[in-house]
Amino acid sequence: MIEALANDYLSTRSDEVSIQWICNHSRNTQLALLYGHVDLALTYERDQEQISLSEGWANTSGCAFRDHFCIVGPIDDSANIKTCSTISDAMTRIEKSRSQFHSRVDSSATMFKERQLWVAADLAPWDDEGSASSWYRTSVLGPADALIQADEKGAYLLTDRSTLLKQTELGSVKNCTCFFESKSADDVLMNDCHALYSTTADQMARGEVKAFLGYLHSDRGQSVIGSYGVDTVGHPLFARVKDECASTSLVGGRPSGRKWISMQQT
């Protein structure tokens, strides 16, 4: 989607400019902003963003778009979490049944969100080197590879909506379903992306960042966000800021023919 946004923005410019994007975790992205490697950062951790704001080396333009965390797992649902009414109940059921759960230990926003969900259920399987080692498997795989591996192994996993739908489009996942995803702006699984920008960049860079942020928050920029993915995988990967959450739900659906088939379509 970043490529789509950048290309659409550049099409509105009459002069020759370019945008270089660097992919990284939220915390590393903030460090890149601090040390002047980037002028604009799209990040997912409010507490870490607040540090940069309080120290004065970054400002924020607020929420740029909304992604959603999703708890996914095998369609046969070995832990039977589809009947759980809360995420804490689901995490507890996974632990008690010793069903396979894959975890990324890469200091990403996903890792910290997953641990928040376990703690809310009074569990900490990463600290249990005994019984948990048989079902709680860790890796430093990136979002896509972690999802692909969990899909192949029949494991549960915390991922995000955009990764799940993109890998569905690519045909990389075939055996998983979604059990929980965010339903509102204040849902624990909401994964808002905020835009931070440097307070120490030179005048030219500040002007370019201001112009791009104006586009990003405009109706045109938000329209690109809200429609991205619909024509390829059947669902929007993200939600516009004003929508609070995605217009379609992935819960109960599954990949089929490189599209995500929702519960209503099956």
pLDDT tens for the chain, 266 residues long, are 999 999 999 999 999 899 999 988 888 999 999 999 999 999 999 999 999 999 999 999 999 999 999 999 999 999 999 999 999 999 999 999 999 999 999 988 899 999 999 999 999 999 887 777 889 999 999 999 999 999 999 999 999 999 999 999 999 999 999 999 999 999 999 999 999 999 999 999 999 999 999 999 999 999 999 999 999 999 999 999 999 899 899 999 999 999 999 865 44
Domains 2-66+191-241 and 67-187 share a fold: yes
Q: At what angle do helices 109-120 and 87-97 cross, to 10 degrees?
A: 90
User: Would you list the domain boundaries of the chain?
Assistant: 2-66+191-241, 67-187
67-187 domain in CATH 2.60.40.10?
no
Q: What is the CA radius of gyration of the chain?
A: 19
| CATH architecture classification, 2-66+191-241 | 3-Layer(aba) Sandwich (3.40)
Residue 264 CA to residue 266 CA, distance in Å, equals: 6
Q: How many other C-beta atoms are found inside a 10 Å radius of the C-beta of residue 108?
A: 21
Long-range pairs, 52-57, Cβ under 8 A, ≥24:
52/196, 56/199, 57/33, 57/198, 57/199, 57/200
